[in-house]
A and B are shown apart, each in its own frame.
Chain A
Amino acid sequence: MEKVAILSHTDNNRRWTGGLHGARDILEYMPIIHLRRTWDAFLITTVVLGSAFIWMTRATPGGTVVAPPAAAATLPAPFTNHPAPDFTLTTIDGTRVRLSDLRGQVVLINIWATWCPPCRAEMPVIQAAYERFHSRGFTVLAVNQQEDATTIQAYLRENGLTFPALLDGAAEVGVAYQARALPSSFFVDRRGIIRAIYRGPMSRGVIDGTIEHLVAETP
Chain B
Amino acid sequence: MYPLLELGPVRLSSGGLLLIIAVLIGTWLFERHARQRGGEQLVELAGRCASVALLGALVGARLWYGMFSWDVYGRSPGLFLAFRIGDFAWPGALAGGALAGYLWCRHFGISAVELADAAALALPIAQVVASIGLLLSGEALGAPADLPWAVYLSGVARHPTQLYFAAAALVSRALLAWGARSAARPGMLTAFYLGFQGIAMLLIEALRVDSLVVAGGIRVAQVSGLLLLLAALWWQRSHVVAAPS
Interface residues of A (CB under 8 A from B): 2-7, 21-25, 27, 33-36, 39-40, 42-43, 46-47, 50-51, 53-55, 57-61, 63-64, 66, 80, 117-118, 120-122, 124-125, 127-128, 159-160, 180-181, 187, 189, 195-196, 198-206, 208-210, 212-214
Q: Are A39 and B223 in contact (CB under 8 A)?
A: no
Nearest neighbor of A197 in chain B, beta-carbon distance: B1
Interface residues of B (CB under 8 A from A): 1, 3-4, 6, 11, 13, 69, 71-72, 75-76, 79, 82-87, 137-141, 144, 153-156, 175, 178-185, 188, 192, 202-203, 206, 208-211, 213, 216-219, 222-223, 226, 229-230, 233-234, 236-237, 240-245
Residues of chain A within 8 A of B218, CB atoms compared: 54-55, 58-59
Nearest neighbor of B244 in chain A, beta-carbon distance: A3
Q: Are A124 and B240 in contact (CB under 8 A)?
A: no
Given the interface contacts A199-B3, A204-B69, does A124 sit within 8 Å of B75 by beta carbon?
A: yes
Residues of chain B within 8 A of A199, CB atoms compared: 3-4
A-B contact count (CB 8 A): 189
Q: Are B243 and A5 in contact (CB under 8 A)?
A: yes
Q: Are B219 and A57 in contact (CB under 8 A)?
A: yes
Q: Are A187 and B155 in contact (CB under 8 A)?
A: yes
Q: Are B3 and A200 in contact (CB under 8 A)?
A: yes
Contact of A35 among B178, B183, B208, B241 (CB under 8 A): B241
Can you give 11 A-B contacts (C-beta < 8 A)? A24-B179, A39-B233, A58-B218, A121-B83, A198-B1, A203-B85, A203-B86, A204-B69, A208-B210, A210-B141, A213-B209
Bound complex: CA A19 to CA B124 (Å): 27
Nearest neighbor of B3 in chain A, beta-carbon distance: A200
Given the interface contacts A43-B233, A203-B139, does A117 sit within 8 Å of B83 by beta carbon?
A: yes
Q: Are A196 and B155 in contact (CB under 8 A)?
A: yes
Nearest neighbor of A31 in chain B, beta-carbon distance: B242
